[in-house]
Structure 1
Amino acid sequence: MNDPFKQADAPRKVLVADDDAEGRLDAWLTSVLAGEFSRSRIKALIEQGAVLHRGAICTEPKKKVAPGDRVEIVLPEPEDPVPKGEDIPLEVLYEDADVIVIAKQAGLVVHPGAGNWTGTLVNALIHHCGDSLSGIGGVRRPGIVHRLDKDTSGVLVAAKNDIAHRHLAAQFADHGRTGPLERAYQAVVWGRPKQLRGTIDAPLGRAGDRTKRAVKRADSDDAREAVTHYEVIERFHEKPDATAMAALVECQLETGRTHQIRVHMAHIGSPLVGDPDYSAGFRTKVNLLPEPAKTVVKAFHRQALHAFLLAFEHPRTGEVMEFKAPIPDDLQELIDALRV
């Protein structure tokens, strides 16, 4: 871990806990530096080794603070909260005065955030649409009503005014239960689900890593309903006992949780090929594949997931619109190699 205190020119602030100081270090620093940094930002700085507590680097946000404690913090460079337009190519499937529908490429982050302040879809949309994007999502998420993971490709719609944003957001919140919203994905998974068609109804919540998700008991504090419908479309290298090395699966979301398809497919024993977070136990299976599939799978460095279909009601006309994004070249190459 880099030591921020070895940077001679790094701006610092020295604080001394007063007589009323108590509780966790991250909470105390957040209160003392109110308005400067969020608690999550303070916590990250502590974990990065940017805080001295009682003369020693402290990486434990829950460390207790006592009256008279001396705390020194290396202050990060200020980050511009307002994203700027960037000339990033967009594959526009449809656009009018209310909405823009694009086929997002894999590798493109949807909106700015920690570690990705530039080069996002939002930066591209600002450049393409100018000031017409809806502001409801805030300065960092103008026009954004739903998301796809960075390495998931496929159809995504953004709102170009506040009325469209509210209308679309309501449809996504309803998950298509009472309206026409429909989202369908294609995924290449290891093995083959035991049932060729089924529904995975398993609540999701945070895993140990704040960016990951896991199946949780329904009565867990952070459990949120998650329902995925799936159907096996094609099986690759199927054996006489009806097992397969891999399969092409179509998934439809009834809810829209973070990493939902990725976690749900792993939960039933068929994680996505290339998934860096949820298929670690299946990486050696690539050695059982014949060529050229073995070489192609080894070179496939993202989850094999593509949002190929999105349908929604147009916020102005009420027309039900359906859009499909063709399978990107890297995923098509993977499927073709597995067919051999």
Structure 2
Amino acid sequence: MYNFKKFVALGMAAVMTLGCGVTAFATAGDEDAAVEVTGAGTSAFVDKDVYAVAVPTGDALTKTLAFTTDPYGLVAEAHPDKKIEDGAKVLFASTLDGLDYAGTSDALTITNKSSMGIVLDIEAKLVKGSATYAAGYSKTKDFSGTGDDATGLYFGLLADNEVEKPLDETGVTFKNVALSAADEYEVKDNDGTYTYTIKTDATDLPKYEFAVTAALNTDAAETTWYSISNKVKTALTMPSLSVKFTPTGIRECKEASVLVEGENFYISKPDVEGGFGTTKPTAILVNGKAVTTVSDNEDGYVKVTWKDVYTAWGYTDTTIKDLSEDEQNIIFNGVKNFKVTANSVDYYAEVK
């Protein structure tokens, strides 16, 4: 009996020891109990297609383009304290070079704050309205062109990447571009909410500027500027200037790059040399203007020649020769971007 009790006692001790061990494990969960761990899901997303264009409005338009014809120098006579540009006879209020009046308006600026490039449709013309001025408009600023000596006024549009364009009541229309401001944007995390905004220190936002310059024919007949009735002279009323611009974002394009060699531009797909194969694009836009004859690809690159460019600007092989070298350089150096459509996909490339 003694030995049996001793054995039982040892056995009970073993059970108690094992029992203590089971109790310790049980505090972390029963053997067959399921344990579920969850984590909330969030989305790190922000729309990087931002369209924001700052355009001149109101007084910035009407006052900047308001002008006074002054064939007799009356403005200087009445305002001896004002500084007037030498030789100017069509006067715009000026803030440039310490002038009060100049023969060219201050520039009007369109600022692209978008993460994409924009195409600008621009229309500029003279609007007769109730004006009684009827002597017509010169095609040359010095009134030296055929028939220009019989006109009284010249107006020309000065616009980025364009040769000066004479204006009349028919007007001129053209397209041009402002580049993307994407390099001035940054992504910020505001407690899990992501934003895509312009950097606070951004100072190099792409701009497009234009102005109007004007001249007056000092050899024009006196009746160009006034009418006479019963020996009373009455000043003729002048037309008004109208400039209309419509910006449109260049959206949903794949990125491409541009290589400039000599007088040719070569567009390549991203991260490859060329990549377009031998099939020519179905459409090419340069600064928003259509290339009418698409050249063959070269080593997989889309090729755009100088002739393609000046043809898109509306010049022919003959009329381009009428431009000076400086004027031709304005066009060539003014090439800013390309939109290429190939295999139903649009590609966008900027000239850096």
> Shorter-chain TM-score: what band?
under 0.3
Whose strand fraction is larger, Structure 1's or Structure 2's? 2
TM-score by length of 1: 0.24
Q: Which has the larger radius of gyration?
A: 2
TM-score by length of 2: 0.23
Say which structure, 1 or 2, has more relative contact order (CA 8 Å, 6+ apart).
2
Whose helix fraction is larger, Structure 1's or Structure 2's? 1
